């Protein structure tokens, strides 16, 4: 029983990371109706930036804040430089651009930082809590995830900029007619998504270790989470993330074993697409004409 509970709780910890990445996928999907396949590689690259700063001797939380800020800027730049020119291109062209971005970031990381696997520190290492159900790092991950989610909720719900971003995602023409600079809102969305991804990357790296391919598995789970929750629903993505984390852990421990764990994600993706394409919380909006 204790082991079972432990599996569920540590599933929630990794689930939080899937939730964060799924959320950044959903944010970009809502604004542009594209799935950013490079989201995971962006997060991986950000994590390397953090590693570099820590390696240079900066305290963890300074490196953390610096990475989040830098990732935000890089996200905005990627939107402005790479995505903007293909704004009105057919969907396949955009997919190719995303895949190119994925490959470029992956090889760039390998070239700059080498493919050798590195350890990444966790900031949550206090003594004496090892006997509980959760390791300090898992507990910290859950805490950080919840903080990020709460901050995002408050931002989108109560600030004028958050409202402008939501409006721009929903109805670009009407937004322009209200004076909103829609192009910049999209870029900000990319920046935010990159920043969230960076946090997720820094939280998962102590577990999966740091290497250019660290996000491959995580991305699959995040896709499954986003689809499960409904690709156009932020709350759904978060719930989906936690569900996928728990299901993954339980299936790994009791059903298919750790080696076949990744197939759970695939099965989930296919299952959702076949039986409930809108996901658990996705909605078909009825509009009047």
Partner 1 sequence: MTAPLLEVESLDAGYGPTDVLHGVSFTVGEGGITTVLGANGAGKTTLLRAVCGLIRRRGRVRFGGAAIESKATEDIVRLGLAHVPDGRGTFVQLSAEENLRVGAITRRDRKGVAADMERMYGYFPRLRERRHQQAGTLSGGEQQMLAIARALMLRPRLLVLDEPSFGLAPLIVRDIFAIMRTVNREERVGILLVEQNAKLALELADTAYLLETGRVVTGGPAAQLRDDETIRRAYLGY
Closest to partner 1 by CB, 130 vs 160, is 160
- Binding residue for partner 1, selected from 163, 235, 262, 280, defined by CB under 8 A: 163
Applying the rule CB under 8 A, the residues between 226 and 285 that interact with partner 1 are: 285
Q: What own/partner pairs with CB < 8 Å and gap ≥ 24 does 252-258 have? A: 253/3, 253/7, 254/7
CA atoms of 150 and 148, how far apart (whole Å):
5
Tokens in use for 275?
A: 């039986």
DSSP structure string for 54-107: HHTT--HHHHHHHHHHHHHHHHHHHIIIIIGGGTTS-HHHHHHHHHHHHHHHHH
Does 90 sit near partner 1 (CB under 8 A)?
no
Closest to partner 1 by CB, 258 vs 283, is 283
Span near partner 1 by CB under 8 A; candidates 48-56, 174-182, 218-226, 274-282: 174-182
Does 158 sit near partner 1 (CB under 8 A)?
no
Among 195, 161, 157, 154, smallest CA distance to 181 is for 161
Closest to partner 1 by CB, 112 vs 178, is 178
SS3 34: coil
Q: Give me the helices (H) in 114-135, please.
A: none
CA atoms of 160 and 256, how far apart (whole Å):
48
Shortest Cβ distance from residue 155 to partner 1 (Å)?
14
Closest to partner 1 by CB, 180 vs 202, is 180
Does 89 sit near partner 1 (CB under 8 A)?
no
Closest to partner 1 by CB, 56 vs 177, is 177
Does 159 sit near partner 1 (CB under 8 A)?
no
- Binding residue for partner 1, selected from 179, 259, 274, 275, defined by CB under 8 A: 179
φ, ψ (nearest 5 deg) of residue 118 = -115, 155
Does 171 sit near partner 1 (CB under 8 A)?
yes
- Binding residue for partner 1, selected from 25, 164, 205, 226, defined by CB under 8 A: 164
Closest to partner 1 by CB, 33 vs 176, is 176
DSSP, res 131: T
Residues that bind partner 1 (CB under 8 A): 160, 163-164, 166-167, 170-171, 173-182, 285-289
């Amino acid at each position: 029983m204790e082991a079972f509970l432990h599996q569920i709780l540590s599933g929630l910890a990794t689930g939080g990371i899937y939730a964060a990445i799924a959320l950044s996928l959903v944010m970009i999907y809502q604004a542009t109706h594209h799935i950013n396949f490079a989201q995971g590689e962006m997060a991986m690259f950000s994590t390397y930036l953090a590693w570099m700063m820590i390696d240079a001797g900066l305290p963890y939380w300074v490196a953390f804040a610096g990475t989040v800020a830098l990732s935000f800027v890089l996200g905005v730049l990627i939107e402005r430089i790479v995505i903007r020119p293909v704004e009105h291109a057919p969907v396949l062209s955009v997919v190719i651009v995303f895949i190119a971005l994925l490959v470029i970031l992956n090889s760039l990381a390998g070239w700059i930082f080498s493919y050798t696997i590195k350890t990444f520190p966790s900031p949550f290492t206090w003594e004496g809590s090892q006997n509980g159900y959760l390791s300090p790092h898992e507990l910290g991950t859950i805490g950080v995830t919840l903080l990020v989610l709460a901050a995002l909720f408050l931002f989108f719900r109560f600030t004028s900029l958050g409202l402008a971003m939501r409006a721009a995602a929903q109805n670009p023409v009407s937004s322009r007619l209200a004076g909103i600079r829609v192009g910049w809102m999209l870029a900000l969305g990319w920046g935010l998504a990159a920043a969230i991804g960076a946090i997720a990357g820094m939280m998962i790296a102590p577990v999966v270790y740091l290497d250019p391919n660290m996000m491959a598995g995580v991305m699959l789970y995040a896709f499954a989470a986003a689809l499960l929750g409904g690709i156009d629903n932020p709350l759904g993505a978060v719930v989906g993330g936690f569900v996928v984390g728990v299901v993954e852990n339980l299936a790994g421990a009791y059903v298919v074993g750790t080696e076949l764990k990744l197939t759970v994600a695939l099965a989930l993706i296919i299952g959702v697409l076949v039986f409930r394409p809108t996901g658990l919380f996705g909605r078909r909006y009825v509009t009047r004409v």
